[in-house]
């Protein structure tokens, strides 16, 4: 089974927002959170709040200039009849059950009163949340992360304490809930979804030959895809997990070869993701 972890965060107001729901996404299930000052829309495009300062997203950034290998692959793909596409009947397909909830709140968290929780969220850059049964924010890494390898890694690289977005996002994602989190640049959003992602991945069976990825991270630009991949690989090597970047202006055939070798995690830009799906009958493998 695949899980998708988006690293993007658009904001049009001065308030950040955190979305958490265990139902199909709708506007009625928003969780709003203020975790810093959001940036505004500019004429060229939306300022994307990421760990790169002043990163602008524009559709022009993903090159539409066809490359020789891309044309060749699409030429082969276009020869196939639409009848070759298989329409899946999910009612008749067996999907292996998998665990979504890996989080159990410790007594120190569950014993907090509602007033204490509200006061703690106030300390965390005045986080505000809406939604049903949203988990309470944690105070330390060990209250949510149980992997000794990860805890040692965090200590080694001076990740001393959780940031506001991490404090609230970690228990939400580890609980198997849907979430959209927005916070200011440099707030630690990437780590907020990477750590739960690895916990979900290592709980699933190893990939067999021909399997697609377990997790997909979609980023708006090539620069952010490369940065996220570098950050992801730091933790991936702890568990022998493979992570590859799929983005535009590079060889399509080389990226397809990487996908065929298999990877648990794919970090990609939207345009190249569509290219890969188009060239491979809707599959990422």
Domain locations in the chain? 3-279
Place of tokens 């569950």: 110
User: Mean pLDDT of all residues in the chain?
Assistant: 78
Helical pair 270-279 and 68-78, crossing angle rounded to 10 deg:
40
Residues 6+ apart with CB under 8 A from 139: 108, 109, 120, 162, 167
Per DSSP, the three-state class of 202 is helix
User: What's the average model confidence in pLDDT over 242-251?
Assistant: 92
Task: Count CA atoms within 13 Å of residue 114 on its CB side.
Answer: 3
Lowest mean pLDDT, pick from 60-69, 120-129, 247-256: 60-69
Which pLDDT value is given to residue 231?
A: 94
User: What's the average model confidence in pLDDT over 111-140?
Assistant: 93
Place of tokens 């505000």: 128
For residue 27 the two structure tokens come to 């506007």
Which pLDDT value is given to residue 10?
A: 34
Taking 60 as the threshold, does the pLDDT of residue 1 lie above it?
no
pLDDT band at 217 (very low <50, low <70, confident <90, very high): very high
pLDDT band at 212 (very low <50, low <70, confident <90, very high): confident
Phi and psi torsions of 152, nearest 5°: -65, -40
Residues 6+ apart with CB under 8 A from 64: 271
User: What's the average model confidence in pLDDT over 190-199?
Assistant: 96
User: What's the average model confidence in pLDDT over 244-253?
Assistant: 90
**pLDDT tens digits along 138-189:** 999 999 999 999 999 999 999 999 999 999 999 999 999 999 998 888 899 9
Beta pairing partners, 18? 181
**pLDDT tens digits along 7-63:** 433 333 333 345 444 444 444 444 445 454 434 333 333 333 333 333 333 434 454
Tell me the torsion sign for CA atoms 218, 220, 222, 228. Answer: negative
Annotation: CATH topology of 3-279: Rossmann fold (3.40.50)
Place of tokens 């986080």: 127
Could you tell me how many residues make up the chain?
A: 285
Which pLDDT value is given to residue 72?
A: 58
Lowest mean pLDDT, pick from 12-26, 59-73, 101-115: 12-26
Taking 80 as the threshold, does the pLDDT of residue 197 lie above it?
yes
Question: DSSP states of 74-88 as a string?
Answer: HHHHHTS-GGGS---
Which residue, among 202, 186, 221, 242, has the nearest Cα to 58 in the 3D structure?
A: 221
> What count of other Cβ atoms lies within 10 Å of the Cβ of residue 188?
17
Which pLDDT value is given to residue 71?
A: 59
Task: Quote the CA–CA distance of 235 and 191 in Å, as a whole number.
Answer: 10
- How far, in Å, are 24, 108, 221, 225, 244 from residue 120 at the CA level? 29, 13, 35, 33, 38
Higher-pLDDT residue of 225, 282: 225
Q: What is the CA radius of gyration of the chain?
A: 20
Task: Quote the CA–CA distance of 197 and 205 in Å, as a whole number.
Answer: 15
pTM score = 0.70
Which residue, among 222, 270, 269, 264, has the nearest Cα to 243 in the 3D structure?
A: 264
Higher-pLDDT residue of 253, 43: 253
Which pLDDT value is given to residue 236?
A: 94
Per DSSP, the three-state class of 225 is helix
Lowest mean pLDDT, pick from 40-44, 190-194, 230-234: 40-44
């Amino acid at each position: 089974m695949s899980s998708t972890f988006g690293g993007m965060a658009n904001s049009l107001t001065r308030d950040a927002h955190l979305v958490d729901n265990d139902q199909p996404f709708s506007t009625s299930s928003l969780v709003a959170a203020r975790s810093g000052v959001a940036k505004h829309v500019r004429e060229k495009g939306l300022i994307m709040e990421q760990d790169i300062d002043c990163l602008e997203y524009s559709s022009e950034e993903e090159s539409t200039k066809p490359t020789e290998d891309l044309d060749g692959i699409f030429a082969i793909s276009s020869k196939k009849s639409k009848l070759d596409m298989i329409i899946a009947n999910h009612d008749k397909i067996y999907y292996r059950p998998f665990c979504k909830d890996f989080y159990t709140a410790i007594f120190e968290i569950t014993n907090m009163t509602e007033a204490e929780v509200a006061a703690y969220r106030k300390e965390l850059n005045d986080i505000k949340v809406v939604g049903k049964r949203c988990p309470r924010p944690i105070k330390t890494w060990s209250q949510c992360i149980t992997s000794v390898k990860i805890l040692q890694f965090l200590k080694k690289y001076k990740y001393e304490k959780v940031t506001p977005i991490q404090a609230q996002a970690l228990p939400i994602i580890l609980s198997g809930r849907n979430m959209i989190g927005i916070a200011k640049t440099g707030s630690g959003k990437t780590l907020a979804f990477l750590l739960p992602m690895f916990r979900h991945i290592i709980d699933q069976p190893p990939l067999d030959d021909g399997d697609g990825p377990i997790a997909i991270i979609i980023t708006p630009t090539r620069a952010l895809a490369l940065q996220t991949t570098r950050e992801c690989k730091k933790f991936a090597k702890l568990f022998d997990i493979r992570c590859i970047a799929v983005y535009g202006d590079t060889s399509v055939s080389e990226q397809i070869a990487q996908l065929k070798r298999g990877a648990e995690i794919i970090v990609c830009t939207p345009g190249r993701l569509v290219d890969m799906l188009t060239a491979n009958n809707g599959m990422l493998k």
